[in-house]
């Protein structure tokens, strides 16, 4: 089994039979978070890019738990300098981890690290678990090569819908058409006023325009993947 839990903003936890993964663990300072960094015990942390609302508590959590952090090469070097165990990747690259295979995917956005360091290129992840494939798009604009990722067979796509910093609800519907996932989960909205969105209105458009099932998770809610 695998359980996907929304922790607010772009942060998701994936619990499999043997491992816990945490994506973009922005909890401290996240106005919608219902969990603290100390409540998280991941084996692996995945970072889509260097912005503070994604790197979040990754360093503190990894230092405390010994988790391995998957990130692009530049962020992985930055983590190494802080005594964090990391695994550097780059876009297009795939690697087998104990929990499954991960492909780092392209994203159109920025990636500067919280201290101003150069954070390389932003990314997303295709996370290929034995129980299904999850795509976390990271922060990105719509791009038509999402079709190519869709060809890999996506069970759950996680897409930003907040607009302003990323694609908005309309483009997230178009992204869903490209990706053809079984289910699509919105993120990166309602954390702050500039990214306020009506997720139920978006879900209605997904239902009428695509074959995917929209799943709007409240913070703390989960969905189960089963093969
Ligand atoms: Ni960002
Ligand atoms: Mn962001």
Q: Which pTM was predicted?
A: 0.98
Assign 145 to helix, strand or coil.
coil
Per the structure, the complete domain to which residue 200 belongs is given by: 2-225
Whether the CA torsion 204, 138, 100, 42 is positive or negative: it is negative
Q: What distance in angstroms lies between residue 74's CA and the mean position of ligand 1's atoms? A: 16
Can you read off the two tokens belonging to residue 225?
A: 């993947």
Ligand in closest contact with the CA of 26? 2
Report the number of distinct structural domains present in the chain: 1
Q: What distance in angstroms lies between residue 103's CA and the mean position of ligand 2's atoms? A: 20
- Provide the residues around ligand 1 (an ion) whose CB is within 5 A: 51, 139
Q: What distance in angstroms lies between residue 20's CA and the mean position of ligand 2's atoms? A: 22
The CATH number covering residue 81 comes to: 3.60.15.10
* pLDDT tens for each residue of 99-123: 999 999 999 999 999 999 999 999 9
Q: What distance in angstroms lies between residue 107's CA and the mean position of ligand 1's atoms? A: 10
Average pLDDT over the chain, rounded to an integer: 97
Helices 58-65 and 73-80: crossing angle, nearest 10°? 60
Find the mean pLDDT for residues 26-50. 97
- How many CB atoms are closer than 10 A to CB 98? 10
pLDDT at 182: 98
Q: Are strands 183-187 and 2-6 parallel, antiparallel or unpaired?
A: unpaired
Q: What distance in angstroms lies between residue 135's CA and the mean position of ligand 1's atoms? A: 17
Q: What distance in angstroms lies between residue 87's CA and the mean position of ligand 1's atoms? A: 20
Q: What distance in angstroms lies between residue 226's CA and the mean position of ligand 1's atoms? A: 31
**If pLDDT is split at 50, 70 and 90, which confidence band does 227 have?**
low
Find the mean pLDDT for residues 203-216. 98
């Amino acid at each position: 089994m695998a359980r996907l839990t929304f922790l607010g903003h772009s942060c998701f936890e994936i619990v499999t039979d043997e491992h816990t993964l945490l994506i973009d663990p922005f909890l401290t300072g996240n106005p919608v978070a219902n969990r603290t960094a100390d409540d998280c015990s991941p084996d692996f942390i995945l970072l889509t890019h260097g912005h503070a609302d994604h790197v979040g508590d990754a360093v503190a959590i990894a230092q405390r738990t010994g988790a391995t952090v998957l990130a692009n090469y530049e962020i992985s070097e930055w983590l190494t300098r802080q005594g964090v165990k990391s695994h550097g990747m780059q876009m297009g690259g795939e690697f087998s981890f104990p929990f499954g295979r991960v492909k780092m995917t392209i994203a159109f956005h920025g990636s500067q690290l919280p201290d101003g360091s150069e954070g390389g290129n932003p990314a997303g992840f295709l996370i290929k678990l034995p129980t299904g494939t999850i795509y976390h798009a990271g922060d990105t604009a719509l791009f038509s090569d999402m079709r190519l990722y869709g060809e890999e067979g996506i069970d759950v796509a996680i897409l930003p819908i907040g607009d302003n910093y990323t694609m908005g609800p309309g483009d997230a519907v178009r992204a869903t058409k490209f990706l053809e996932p079984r289910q699509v989960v919105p993120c990166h909205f309602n954390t702050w006023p500039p990214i306020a969105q009506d997720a139920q209105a978006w879900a209605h458009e997904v239902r009428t325009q695509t074959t995917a099932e929209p799943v709007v998770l409240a913070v703390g809610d989960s969905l189960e993947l089963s093969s």
